Amino acid sequence: MAIKHLKNYAKGKWVASKSKGEALHNAVTGEAIYTASSDGLDFGEMMDYARRIGGPALRKLTFHERGRMLKALAMYLLERKENYYKISAYTGATRIDSWVDIEGGIGNLFANASLRRQFPNERFFVDGEAAKLSKHGTFIGHHIMVPREGVAIHINAFNFPVWGMLEKIAVNLLAGVPAIVKPATLTSFLTEAVFEDIIESKILPEGSLQLICGSARGILDTVETQDIVTFTGSAETGKKLKAHPRILSEAVPFNMEADSLNCCVLGPDVLPNMPEFDLFIKEVVREMTTKAGQKCTAIRRIMVPSDRIEEVHLALGKRLKGTAIGDPASEGVRMGPLAGITQRNEVREKVQQFAKSQEIIIGDLNHFEVIGADKEKGAFLPPIVFLNDDPFHKLDCHNVEAFGPVATIMPYKNLEEAMELARMGRGSLVGSIVTQDDTIARDFVLGTASMHGRILVLNADCAKESTGHGSPMPMLVHGGPGRAGGGEEMGGVRGVMHYLQRTAIQGSPTTITKITNVFQQGAAQHELEVHPFRKHFEDLQIGDTLITAKHTVTETDITNFANVSGDNFYAHMDATSLSGTIFEGRVAHGYFILSKAAGLFVDAKKGPVLLNYGIDECRFTKPVYPGMTIGVKLTVKEKVDQEKRSEEDIPKGIVKWLVDVYDQTGETVAIATILTMVKKRL
């Protein structure tokens, strides 16, 4: 095929490089197929463009609008995935490898799009609960989170050219922050293909994304206080970037995900005749061969009870022997080449380094078969398994990573030794243990969690649906301490918050209500002449309040409620059993108080309220005895817009109501937040 010159995307335009730049090769054949260069780009101007154009455009959108934008983009890319699979084959990836990268990346867009439902339909996020800062409640504090007014710079690794980009931009775009994507040049041709479709879709606001396929050396010279940098790659490179003077002087958040010596432990309870033994072997083999072991989450250290080393050796050897290596396009191939000759040579060097202190028991660097390709021209390497017979003193396996299909088996005597070996990785993205014993699982997790970003416990109960050792999930935090970089990516709401600025706000409840659009206790209330259940979603305002009629509680109420509910708890029904309790006499059921409150505030006629959607929180704060009189203040606390699922769907939203039940002294006896589904006028 003719050599294609990759383009960069800067300031809203595709920019051809002024020089041919670096040649990029087909990992299978060694043939030069692309060139990449960033000559002619002005990184400072790109950063300024993102701040001036992309940032304001994204911040005008609400979380819900940004989420719908991600969903539309995911659907658009999914329709074009087959083109990405064709290009991905040039990186040495099999169809399964590419699925993880391509559809896994698009899946991140879908997952973060769904995450919008955990945010308000606002441009900001109200974090946590209000803090009462004064005796009489006229001065309170709260926290809001707003998008940072800078740029996210994503410096990605070569092993996942699609997933690496999409899993990062999904989060910053949902947060309302633009990004500049810098994929590893080696496989940037696949990133460019996906990026081209992103731009062609015209789904994102102008300035939301820019792309650098060549070198981005010097881009950190232009960062400012509001910017964010994420890095995935080697620990050595990450440390240099993190120490950049501009990063330090501007206090720029730097999220690093570095190479990691992840482990998998065969539990001391697992014997060769148990299903967990087979699960362990399959998991290790999968992590060694998927993407030819080029995963930051791949298993590098295999910990096995000392009396089961031989069985594991034989089982691993048998399964790895059946892994066909070659051109991913050839039938039967299960493992392709590494991403490039440079990577293959680096892994070879690491293998030779390991061989000085530990023995190769599976695999041979020089003698292996390749299907459909020339193993010298392509970046091929067989799976290599070492045995380290003294892992507490032969330490290369705990300090050096061969970023390919290379792992080390090491024995342990008891669980304490296994945990110590796991911790010797000095910080890992993920560790796993295969065990049927939940006590062993608990001890291992609690004993190693401080050194791991994620821990998988695998057994026959969850194996069928488990996503596996090496699969970070978009709703969970991805990252790890120490050697793994100390960063966090994705992680559901937590991940989005990385791109938001948390600000404490202080003032009167009325002022804080106005700022947050969430009613705060003690704020001004607007008593309504029309019952709020007669109003449509759009017409209700935060602070609208209904003050109900009152009801005096009787012993008959308590008895009748006990008969209906079946709740005959002694405090409600037996006045002779209250000695030594906090109660002065028979006390009304809390749920009766809440039910009676509903009876007081509900408007019975058909109207815009479609249904009761649930209760978010409820507290019974003061006993209610027969003879006490209760009333209710029902206040619009918050409104949550809902999307129509189809053209036939009823337009509606969720209204959260503060239900304040008080007694004849004005003191609150019960408080709850209830939700109703309310029809819109439109």
Asked if residues 605 and 667 have their Cβ atoms less than 8 Å apart, the reply is no
From the list 296, 401, 488, 638, the catalytic residue is: 296
Given the residues 192, 257, 287, 488, select the one marked as catalytic: 257
Measured in residues, the chain has a length of 682
Contacts of 74 (CB under 8 A, 6+ apart): 106, 107, 109, 110, 113
**What is the CB-side half-sphere exposure of residue 465 using CA atoms within 13 A?**
2
Strand order across the 32-36 sheet: 4-5, 32-36, 22-25
**CA pair distance 345, 235, nearest whole angstrom:** 19
How remote is the C-alpha of 216 from its chain's centroid?
27
Measured between alpha carbons, how far is 655 from 540 in angstroms, rounded to an integer? 9
* CB 274, CB 446: distance < 8 Å: no
Q: Tokens 């033994």 — which residue?
A: 277
The residue ranges of DSSP E strands in 473-608, in sequence order, are 477-478, 489-490, 500-507, 526-527, 544-547, 551-552
CB 289 within 8 A of CB 405: yes
Residue 99 one-letter amino acid: W
DSSP states of 304-341: EEGGGHHHHHHHHHHHHHT--BB-TTSTT--B---S-H
Task: Please confirm, yes or no, whether 257 is among the known catalytic residues.
Answer: yes
Which tokens belong to 204? 């994102």
Contact 509, 140 (CB under 8 A): yes
**In whole angstroms, what is the distance from residue 499 CA to residue 502 CA?**
10
Distance CA 249, CA 243 (A): 10
How far is 495 from 491, CA to CA, in rounded Å? 5
Element (H, E) at 631: strand 629-641
* Paired tokens of 12: 């809203």
Q: With contact defined as beta carbons under 8 Å apart, do 95 and 291 qualify?
A: no
H or E stretch at 143: strand 140-147
Count Cβ atoms within 10 A of the Cβ of residue 484 and give its class: 0-12 exposed, 13-18 middle, 19 or more buried: buried
Find all residues with CB under 8 Å of 465, minimum gap 6, and list them: none
Q: Which two tokens stand for residue 47?
A: 């950063």
Alpha-carbon span 585 to 574, nearest angstrom? 9
Task: Report which of 228, 90, 101 is spatially closest to residue 153, judged by C-alpha positions.
Answer: 228
Residue with the two structure tokens 């993920």? 430
3-state secondary structure of 56: helix
544: its two tokens: 């609208």
CA distance 179 to 227: 9
Active site residues: 257, 296
